[in-house]
Amino acid sequence: MENVWVLAALWVGLALIATLLAIWFKISTALTEIVVGTVAQFVIMAFIGHGGLGAKAGWVTFLAGAGAVVLTFLAGAELDSVIFRTKWKEATVVGLVGFFGPFLGCAAIAHYVLHWGARPSWLAGVALSTTSVAVVYAVMLELGFNKTDFGKAILASCFINDIGTVIALGLIFSPFTLKTLIFVVVSVLVFAALPFVTPRFFHKYGGRVSELEAKYLLFVLFAMGGLAVWAGSEAVLPAYMIGMVLAGTIGKDHILVRRLRTLTFGLLTPFYFLRAGSFVSVPALLAAPLVFVVLFFAKMFSKIVGLLPTVRAFQYQREEGLYYTLMMSTGLTFGTISALFGLNHNIITEAQYSFLVATVIGSAVIPTVIANAFFMPRHLLPKAAKTTKQAQALPLEVLADADAD
């Protein structure tokens, strides 16, 4: 498809459909975009043929890559540094267990059970090691645990878990060369300088119509992303770190964060998630569904085996411990980013990518459904169930009395 505008209209049209589906079913837009991308690519390939959605076009690749970078930056910027400082011990223990359990477990299963090569197996370990800060945070908000010490520790541990994933993704697949050393040294210097330089720069030149803040941040993200790729690493690694070091300053600038969200959601991430979905091969998934089952249970089992005793050690009861473990077993964004990194760098095949993305989606949806259905520590529910028979609708006479009064 050579007409850029027609192709752009097709992608944005699909993003629109995905958003409508997300609104109707109250599910994540990221999820619907991946699924719509997969279905659209499958249908176009089946009925029209070669080329499909044009996911490998240069400008699509750039917009999708920028989406992943900005999305990762914003995720990092949501770190609450106060919580992190006060709860770093618990967070480090739970976070590292949450990362290393599935990282090692899934890599081992991929290698010894599925007979994948060493590099694809390590990538599977990285992609399936993620957790979702957002899922855990949403549950915390719902239950009011976000204000408790345990809740804060769990949230901080999710960040540690994801740092493990991002560092592993950024460093494990690149040979350690002089370039890597330069990348690490420059990164450390930039990460140290940004929290001091950025607020002063914004204070002096920011708050104008020209959106200097957004340009500054995109410049830093793209420059550090470029350095990371030059060193054989991945652009999301510095993006996440930059988000974290600027969380205390930029993260608190509500208006700026909202502007970035508009840019991210309105234009960038639809390209990222639709593109990630378009590379999923439906025939490959249908040809060997057991691979998905094996990877899914590998992720769940390795998360639960490591996290459940760890969370219980911090004195959480049976159902609540299992609930949090299941919540920490989800992870959509970093899972797809890792899998796409593997596909782009020829570490994994299209079939392996398809299984990994399907597992990431499965692990985002299935634990949530199970946790909501069977392990809700919503303490009111058992009581509510007992009082079901007693629950009563308002007698009409009462309303009549009220009106009469």
Minimal distance in Å, beta carbon 60 to another protein? Answer: 21
CB proximity list for 208: less than 8 A, separation 6 or greater: none
* CB-based burial label for 100 (10 Å; 0-12, 13-18, 19+): middle
Residue 399 CB, nearest approach to another protein (Å)? 7
Q: Is 119 in the site for another protein (CB under 8 A)?
A: no
* 120 burial via Cβ count (<10 Å: 0-12, 13-18, 19+): buried
Query: Which of 235, 243, 379, 363 has the alpha carbon at shortest distance from 303?
Result: 363
What span, in angstroms and rounded, lies between the C-alpha atoms of 362 and 367? 8
124 contributes a contact to another protein by CB under 8 A: no
Q: How far is the CB of 22 from another protein (least distance, A)?
A: 6
- Which of 248, 314, 303, 244 shows the shortest CA–CA distance to 91? 314
Residue number with CB closer to another protein (29 or 81): 29
The token pair that represents 83 in the structure block: 């919580």
x/- track of binding to another protein for residues 328-347 (CB under 8 A): --x-xx--------------
Nearer to another protein, 154 or 364 (CB): 364
Q: Which of 7, 21, 78, 214 binds another protein (CB under 8 A)?
A: 78
- CA 168 vs CA 104, 122, 127, 287: distances in Å: 12, 9, 10, 30
If binding is defined by CB under 8 A, does position 395 make contact with another protein?
A: yes
Find the helix or strand (DSSP H, E) in which 113 lies.
none
Which residues have C-beta within 8 Å of that of residue 399, sequence separation ≥ 6?
none
- In angstroms, the CA 378 to CA 227 distance is 47
- Taking alpha carbons only, the member of 336, 348, 331, 261 closest to residue 38 is 336
Residue 255 binds to another protein (criterion: CB under 8 A): no
Could you say whether residue 161 binds another protein (CB under 8 A)?
no
Position 267 contacts another protein (CB under 8 A)? no
Which listed range, 84-92, 194-202, 253-261, 317-325, lies at the site for another protein (CB under 8 A)?
253-261
CB of 222 vs another protein, minimal distance in Å: 19
Q: Which stretch binds another protein (CB under 8 A): 71-79, 171-179, 188-196, 221-229?
A: 71-79
When the beta carbons of 37 and 120 are compared against another protein, the nearer one is 37
Binding flag, residue 385, another protein (CB under 8 A):
yes
Token pair in block for residue 262? 């508009």
Please state the closest distance from residue 273 (CB atom) to another protein, in A. 9
When binding is defined by CB under 8 A, the residue of 15, 31, 55, 114 that contacts another protein is 31
CA–CA distance, 5 with 29 (Å, rounded to integer): 24
Site string for another protein, 203-242 (x = CB under 8 A): ----------------------------------------
Contact of 165 with 125, CB cutoff 8 Å: no
Is 22 a binding residue for another protein by CB under 8 A? The answer is yes
Q: Considering only residues 178, 209, 373, 380, which one is a binding residue for another protein as defined by CB under 8 A?
A: 380
Structure tokens that stand for 294 in this block: 């094996």
- x/- string (CB under 8 A) for another protein, residues 131-150? -xxxx-xx--xxx-------
- State how far the Cα of 295 lies from the Cα of 123, in Å rounded to an integer: 12
Are the C-beta atoms of 372 and 364 separated by less than 8 Å?
Answer: no
Q: Say whether residue 388 binds another protein (CB under 8 A).
A: yes
Other C-beta atoms closer than 10 Å to the C-beta of 24 total: 9
What tokens appear for 60 in the block? 């699509």
In the complex with another protein, the residue whose CB is nearer, 120 or 225, is 225
In the complex, which residues of this chain contact another protein (CB under 8 A)? 22, 24-31, 71, 74-75, 78, 132-135, 137-138, 141-143, 257-258, 261, 264-265, 269, 330, 332-333, 364-365, 368, 378, 380-381, 383-385, 387-388, 390-395, 397-399, 401-403, 405
